Every structure is written in structure tokens, then in C-alpha cells.
Amino acid sequence: MIKLAKFFKVTEEIYGDQVLDDVVGKLDNKSAEAIASMLDKEKDAILTCIMNCESPIEMMLALAMKDALVKDSGRSLGADVIDIENQHEIVIGEFRCRADFVIPVYFSKYGFGKHYVIECDGHEFHERTKEQVTKDNQRRRGLTRAGYVVINFSGSEVYKDAYGCAREIKNIIVEQTKELIKQHEG
């Protein structure tokens, strides 16, 4: 019941006493335990999603992408989003880098897929010097040569609207999915 007490506390803080009274009035012990269990599972999913993220903007974008892409992938993408892999090491021959996120998208109906690299470029780590700009551009070209689709967001964009960034990623994947399927069938 401690878990449920946390739920009630958060509900009361966000929505006030009346909403909390309405919620509590509808619960019996069995449903209260089920809700507490569901909240625990959601908490575990959130922690797993952000575990390896290295910055707050990565955490924000990871949660938004999980919600926009993974939960809804089969219906709107026409593809299987395998998972969102954060801090993913990419090694192809001499080329080596670590991506903030890699999203493998697989079209099981057609037997092929595509990988998307999502980068959150915080001001303090990117484009500070000419050398850093050169390094970032070389990295982007290496990923492109390896067949990855690279999508970059500034930290400001993520802070302003992480869910908007996630929707943009989803839209890019949907557009490319339609094009790939069209090419495959045509």
C-alpha cells in the first residue's frame, strides 16, 4: 500500500483533493493493488528508458521517443521499431562512434530495415570550435556512408518540445517507410 500512497500523494498534488476523492471512491482493494502494480511497471519502463542517457536532453528525448515510436510503431509506421538503443556503439571497419540513440526499424513483411541515428547536440559539447565542427561533420558523413539516417536536434529544441521532436522523428520514419515500401513493391 506504500506504492498506492505515493500515487495518491502525486494525484492530490497535481489535481487537488476533489479529484483524489473521486479516484479513491472508485477503488476497491483489488483494483488499488492492480493500479499500484501498473504504476510500478511504468516506473521501471521509464528508468530503463533513461538509464544510459548521458544528459537531461537525452533523457527527455528518450522518454518522448519511447512514447511516440515504440508504443505506436505497428499501427502508424507499418514497421516494427525493435527498440530505442541509447549510447549505441557503431563500428564499421575503421569507422567507430557512439550514437546518442539508434532506432532500428524493420519491415518484417518485406524482410528489410533501416537504422536511424538520433543525436541531441547540446551547445556545450558540439560546435564549440572549428575542430569540433569538423569532427561532427566527418562523423555524420561516416554514418551516412554506412547507411544510417542521421537526425539531429539541438538541446534548445528538445527542452522546448521533446514530444514535438519525437513526432518529427516519427514523421521522418513514416515518410521514408512509405517510400521504401513503394520502391520495394514498384
Q: What does the domain layout of the chain look like in residue ranges?
A: 2-49, 52-185
| Phi/psi-derived region of residue 177, left when phi > 0, alpha when psi is between -120 and 50, beta in every other case | alpha
**Per-residue pLDDT tens over the stretch 50-107:** 888 888 899 899 988 888 876 655 556 666 666 788 888 888 888 888 899 999 888 7
Q: Which CATH number fits domain 52-185: 3.40.630, 3.90.320, 3.40.50, 3.40.1350?
A: 3.40.1350
Beta-sheet strands, E only, within the chain? 80-81, 85-92, 95-107, 112-121, 149-154
* Stretch among 99-108, 124-133, 150-159 having the lowest mean pLDDT: 124-133
Burial label for 131, CB within 10 Å (0-12, 13-18, 19+), is exposed
Q: What is the pTM of this model?
A: 0.74
